[in-house]
Structure 1
Amino acid sequence: MKKTAFAVILSAVFSSGCTVRVADMTVGSTKNYNLNSAQFVKGSRVTGEDNIPVVLFPLGVPNLKTAMDKAIEKDKCAVGLSDVVISQLNHAFLFGTYGARVEGNLIIDASQPGCTSRFQGAYTPPVQLTAPVAQAVQPSASKEQRLAELAGTPGLSYEEYQRRYKLIMGIQ
């Protein structure tokens, strides 16, 4: 009976662990990106971890940057995380792992090369054309033709549609 109780207690000690919530952040990133992009899209919830082995003592130091990079790099268009939760993991007594976990929603920048077509709902800033330049682009097209082309253009924001409409109609 004593041997069984000792085995149960010993297995509980070796299999137990602890995860401690260290920080909550609204936005976090380890990447350089343009804050004025205006083409950010909220992505899926992801998790990144950096763990090190423990054999009597830790064999290294877990790195939060590595954990955050692993989470962000789950999507090639992601530049950061929102609603971030940082946790410290300790699943070791004499043997096991010790680490850091970063969890958050991806912040995806649709303005990056190769990312625009994936996010049709993303806001695209209007292209600023002056009236003479816009008329030079299509000098032979009538207003009706240009309005028909504008109506058939997919993915325009309301502001961009209004700007182009005013340009075609000559309203400034």
Structure 2
Amino acid sequence: MKCFQLKFIFTYLILVACNNLFAQDFHKRQALSVEELIYKQDPNRAKTIFNKGHYLVIENLRRGNRTRFYEGDMFRFRTKDNFLFENDIYAIKDSSIIITSLNEVTNRYEYVEIKLDEIKRIYKHPKRKIHINLYTFAPVGYLFIEWAAWNVPPLSNKKLPIAIGLSLAQPIIGIISNQFRSRRITENYRLRIFQSL
């Protein structure tokens, strides 16, 4: 019992010594500025407050939410001429945006100015690739493990429909997420430019 108490006291003293050694005194800590606190809590709101200039807003009027884009943000959209852009915003003007786009003929990046009324569709995330690999067929592989361990043939196993369903679920979910990644610009889903005051 005394040995246990000595170990406990010794461990406690080591922890206290390490805490005092590496801890910083409370009164010596540097206080964060208001700007740093707002950037830490809500970076999107902080950019609106502190970055003076224009920013792009996608409004969903049915849900009542907004998504803001600033210079340097990645913006994915399709124009009425059926050109797909997936580039950083270089500059935002009163009624247009300027993006950097790769010209495949000259193999150089160029600045392209696009008016807001030319944009027909917005994409929320890049197109996900459909991966079919060994992990896709892992549920079916489990049936073979049961066959080797408990001599249950895979074709007569009651879990076969579930295993096939789980194997098909991954590619199907990828295809469905690619179908619903875009929003068409309408009167309920609109694109506007605002200016920070």
Q: TM-score, normalised by structure 1?
A: 0.23
Q: TM-score, normalised by structure 2?
A: 0.21
Which one has the largest radius of gyration? 2
The structure richer in strand per residue is 1
The structure richer in helix per residue is 2
